[in-house]
Amino acid sequence: MLSNFKVVLVETSHPGNIGAVARAMKNMRMNQLRLVNPKFFPHADATARASGADDLLRDATIHNTLQSAIADCQIVLGASARDRTISWPSLTARQCADKWVSSAESTQNIALVFGRENSGLKNHELDLCHYLLRIPCNAEYSSLNLAAAVQVVCYELFVASGHEQVSRIGDRGEDPLATAEQMEAFYVHLQQTIADIGFLHPDRSKSIMRRLRRIFNRIQLDTKELDILRGILRFSQNHNTK
Amino acid sequence: MLSNFKVVLVETSHPGNIGAVARAMKNMRMNQLRLVNPKFFPHADATARASGADDLLRDATIHNTLQSAIADCQIVLGASARDRTISWPSLTARQCADKWVSSAESTQNIALVFGRENSGLKNHELDLCHYLLRIPCNAEYSSLNLAAAVQVVCYELFVASGHEQVSRIGDRGEDPLATAEQMEAFYVHLQQTIADIGFLHPDRSKSIMRRLRRIFNRIQLDTKELDILRGILRFSQNHNTK
């Protein structure tokens, strides 16, 4: 469940980033924000960047230590861009989502801990984490903006939660795609029409029709579009016989 | 290929957002940015938020029309948070990545068009798009910050590109996980030790050992950790016999 996840920001310098984090969280239906020693909070920049997610700022809890912010959490993940010299179990954002969203362990509280803008989490803070939380990115330019990192992680959790129905590829909404039978009727009509208008030379009939099929099959017509095209064919036929 | 994708920003109001977009792109190895009538550009806020991705700002092209910005693109996707009244083929960011990153059609240029901060893309601009590009999100609070939206889309493309080796769950780095044989030797040692120290009552031996197994199996020990634990057991045994 998404409500099991708590976003914990450690010693954030720029209050604007706290606001942007709140917005990123609310965009993905997350709402529990915990702040460890924020440099400035509350702050007008935080409210401005929250842009309608100020309820998350109002409900955010403030803590003096990371220990206090994660006290009720069974699982703690620490976001890290750097490769650490100590080897450490790590999960990508997607692995984290696959592992804990809608899993049997869903009664557990899970802390997602994000460090300072410039220096991340310190080693003694990582000692409190069970996993490093990693976002796959460009190894040569790996430091994401704080809110951008939170956005990606919350997005992965949201997608894994299945809250939103994902449309199938090519779905166009209300008009159903044409059936093969409807398409065949269209091709017959098309062939007749281009014969009627004198375009179709009998010798080349097969190869031309094959090319036309390749075109129209590729664009997956829906019934409404088919009606329009057949209307055009009818008008072409009538025009020719006038 | 990631270089086939062009990020196109239409009439961006806040130059800071342009900078944040450049950073989000570079984090994900994308580098082609096109700006249609930016309100202020170049601008100090853009450079500040780009935070080291100013090469993308320097190389960005400026266009008077969306048509000009997408002229060399075979496929055009328009980001949209709103449900449109016109039905439109749509793809999520992940579907887009699955469809075009490392696909056979990878010689095509693909434009990812993002609209104004407050009002998105106009209908006449969407008319130029082959697909709506959608980011799954909270239906009741669906407007992502511009750079956050670009971050999610570029992240999906990067993940699909397979540029980064994703670590397997529980991977801890250099020390290999303990084998079943090593774990059995550990359990024998553990049982002997807790018998030696008088903890293990013969009647409860089975149920206690089952519980201990459940604990140690769950945490997937590596060989180094096992050495440490067995060291502790040895010391416990020696202490008891003194």
Contact residues for A105 (Cβ-Cβ < 8 A; gap 6+) = none
Residue in A27, A136, A171 nearest the CB of B158: A136
Predicted local distance difference test score (pLDDT) of residue B72: 87
Comparing alpha-carbon positions, the chain A residue that sits nearest to B168 is: A91
Looking at the complex, report in whole angstroms how far the Cα of residue B242 sits from the nearest Cα belonging to chain A: 35
Q: How far apart are CA A182 and CA B110, in angstroms?
A: 32
Q: Considering only residues 153 to 192 of chain A, which have any Cβ-Cβ distance to chain B shorter than 8 Å?
A: 155, 158-159, 163-164, 166-167, 169-175
Buried b / exposed e along A87-96 (16+ C-beta atoms within 10 A): ebbbbbbbbb
Q: How far apart are CA B120 and CA A6, in angstroms?
A: 31
Q: Considering only residues 92 to 131 of chain B, which have any Cβ-Cβ distance to chain A shorter than 8 Å?
A: 92, 94-95, 99
Query: pLDDT: is A212 or A242 the higher one?
Result: A212
Q: How far apart are CA A60 and CA A8, in angstroms?
A: 10
Is pLDDT at A138 greater than 60 in this prediction? yes
Instruction: Look over chain B and give the mean of its residue pLDDT values, rounded to a whole number.
Output: 84
Ordered strands of the A75-79 beta sheet = A61-63, A33-36, A5-10, A110-114, A75-79, A131-134, A90-92
Instruction: List residues bridging with B78 in a β-sheet.
Output: B113, B132
Predicted local distance difference test score (pLDDT) of residue B219: 64
Could you tell me the pLDDT band of residue A123, with boundaries at 50, 70 and 90? confident
Average pLDDT over residues B62-85: 85
Q: How far apart are CA B119 and CA A20, in angstroms?
A: 19
Least confident of A163-177, A203-217, B35-49: A163-177
Predicted local distance difference test score (pLDDT) of residue B230: 83
Is pLDDT at A6 greater than 90 in this prediction? yes
8 Å CB contact between A149 and A79: yes
Q: How far apart are CA B182 and CA A53, in angstroms?
A: 52
Query: pLDDT: is A100 or B237 the higher one?
Result: A100
Predicted local distance difference test score (pLDDT) of residue A117: 95
> To the nearest 10°, the Cα dihedral for B182, B183, B188, B189?
80
Average pLDDT over residues A13-23: 97
Predicted local distance difference test score (pLDDT) of residue A179: 77
Tell me which chain B residues have a C-beta less than 8 angstroms from the C-beta of A90: 167, 171
Query: pLDDT: is B226 or A93 the higher one?
Result: A93
Phi-psi region of A184 (alpha: psi -120 to 50; beta: other; left: phi over 0): alpha
The helix, strand and coil proportions of chain B, stated in percent and rounded to the nearest 5, come to 45, 15, 40
Nearest alpha carbon to residue A202 among A212, A211, A191: A191
Counting residues of chain A whose pLDDT is more than 70, the rounded percentage is 85
Q: Give the tokens for residue B108.
A: 């095509």
Predicted local distance difference test score (pLDDT) of residue B169: 37
Summarize pLDDT for A67-109 with one digit per residue, the tens: 999 998 888 899 987 655 556 788 999 999 988 886 645 667 8
Is pLDDT at A172 greater than 50 in this prediction? no
Interchain CB distance below 8 Å, A89 and B175: no
Tell me which chain B residues have a C-beta less than 8 angstroms from the C-beta of A143: 27, 51
Instruction: List residues bridging with B33 in a β-sheet.
Output: B7
Average pLDDT over residues B28-47: 97
Predicted local distance difference test score (pLDDT) of residue B86: 57
Q: How far apart are CA B156 and CA B50, in angstroms?
A: 20
Would you tell me the crossing angle of helices A15-27 and A146-161 to the nearest 10 degrees?
Answer: 10
Predicted local distance difference test score (pLDDT) of residue B239: 63
Could you tell me the pLDDT band of residue B58, with boundaries at 50, 70 and 90? very high
Average pLDDT over residues A57-61: 97
Burial of B50 (0-12, 13-18, 19+ CB in 10 A): buried
Predicted local distance difference test score (pLDDT) of residue B121: 93
The answer to whether the bond into B42 is cis (omega within 30° of 0) is: yes
Tell me which chain A residues have a C-beta less than 8 angstroms from the C-beta of B141: 26-27, 52-53
- CA distances (Å), origin A55, targets A33, A47, A58, A104: 10, 10, 5, 30
Query: pLDDT: is A197 or A165 the higher one?
Result: A197
Q: Considering only residues 35 to 74 of chain B, which have any Cβ-Cβ distance to chain A shorter than 8 Å?
A: 49, 51-53
CATH code of the domain occupying B180-241: 1.10.8.590
Q: Is B89 on the interface with A (CB under 8 A)?
A: yes
Least confident of A120-124, A128-132, A158-162, A224-228: A224-228
Instruction: Look over chain A and give the mean of its residue pLDDT values, rounded to a whole number.
Output: 84
- CA distances (Å), origin A23, targets A10, A51, A142, B103, B144: 18, 7, 22, 34, 8
Predicted local distance difference test score (pLDDT) of residue B5: 95
Average pLDDT over residues B236-242: 61
Predicted local distance difference test score (pLDDT) of residue B9: 98
Predicted local distance difference test score (pLDDT) of residue B48: 96
Predicted local distance difference test score (pLDDT) of residue A201: 73
Q: Is B198 on the interface with A (CB under 8 A)?
A: no
Q: What is the fold of B2-161?
A: Alpha/beta knot (3.40.1280)
Predicted local distance difference test score (pLDDT) of residue B84: 57
Q: Give the tokens for residue B42.
A: 């170049």
Is pLDDT at B99 greater than 90 in this prediction? no
Q: How far apart are CA B124 and CA A157, in angstroms?
A: 34
8 Å CB contact between A36 and A141: no
Predicted local distance difference test score (pLDDT) of residue B61: 97
What is the ipTM, given to two decimal places? 0.72
What type of residue sits at position A229? L
Helices (H), A14-145: 15-27, 44-50, 54-59, 66-69, 93-100, 123-126
Q: How many C-alpha atoms does A197 have within 13 Å on its Cβ side?
A: 14
CA angle A95, A63, A49 (to 5 degrees): 70
Average pLDDT over residues B22-37: 97
Counting residues of chain B whose pLDDT is more than 70, the rounded percentage is 85
Predicted local distance difference test score (pLDDT) of residue A240: 45
8 Å CB contact between A154 and A199: no
Instruction: List chain A domain ranges.
Output: 2-161, 180-241
Summarize pLDDT for B123-171 with one digit per residue, the tens: 889 888 888 999 999 989 998 999 999 999 999 999 998 876 443 333 4
Q: How far apart are CA B116 and CA B124, in angstroms?
A: 14
**This prediction's pTM:** 0.73
Q: What is the DSSP string of B90-146?
A: EEEHHHHHHHHTTSTTTTS-EEEEE-BTTTB--HHHHTT-SEEEE----TTS----H
Q: How far apart are CA A166 and CA B137, in angstroms?
A: 10
Summarize pLDDT for B165-221 with one digit per residue, the tens: 443 333 444 567 777 778 888 988 888 888 887 777 767 777 778 777 766 765 667
Tell me which chain A residues have a C-beta less than 8 angstroms from the C-beta of B169: 91, 95, 99
